């Protein structure tokens, strides 16, 4: 009977660190998955941010067409570069730290009421995960509206 207890005791002592090693391996994989999920959430947030930026830019341009006048009867017409500056300076949080490019065009060739304004926002979302090559994912969104004034 003493020999069985000694064998069981030796087996328990030889497996004492096994659970610690298993925990370390599983924990490192789990932490990697959590950080990958956070990065994915940031990418979706960034897409929402640039989509809203494109919509805001086209709204800004659609009410400032060739016949726009403000309350003081002064002209409030904007150019494509002014729309680009407006969208770039909206101040939406840029958590990813990427680069935003804005392009505004008038597909109908003018800024008259009834014509279209097209705003495209492109964002370079940097991937910041360890052990992943440092590249950027290009995310783009466009918005097109008719000029009303």
Q: How does pLDDT run across 64-99, given as a tens digit for each residue?
A: 888 878 878 788 888 899 999 999 888 776 766 778
pTM comes to 0.77
Sign of CA pseudo-dihedral 55, 58, 61, 66: negative
Cβ–Cβ under 8 Å, residues 83 and 103: no
At 117, list the tokens: 């304004």
């Amino acid at each position: 009977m003493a020999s069985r207890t000694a064998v069981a005791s030796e087996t328990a002592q030889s497996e004492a660190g096994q659970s610690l090693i298993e925990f370390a391996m599983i924990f490192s994989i789990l932490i990697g998955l959590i950080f990958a999920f956070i990065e994915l959430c940031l990418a979706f947030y960034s897409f929402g941010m640039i989509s809203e930026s494109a919509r805001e830019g086209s709204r800004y341009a659609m009410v400032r067409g060739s016949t726009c006048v403000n309350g003081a009867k002064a002209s409030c017409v904007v150019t494509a570069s002014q729309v680009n500056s407006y969208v770039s300076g909206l101040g939406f949080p840029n958590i990813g730290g990427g680069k935003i490019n804005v392009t505004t065009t008038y597909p109908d060739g003018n800024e008259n009421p009834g014509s279209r304004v097209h705003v495209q926002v492109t964002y370079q979302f940097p991937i910041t995960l360890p052990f992943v090559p440092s590249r950027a994912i290009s995310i783009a969104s466009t918005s097109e509206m008719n000029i009303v004034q």
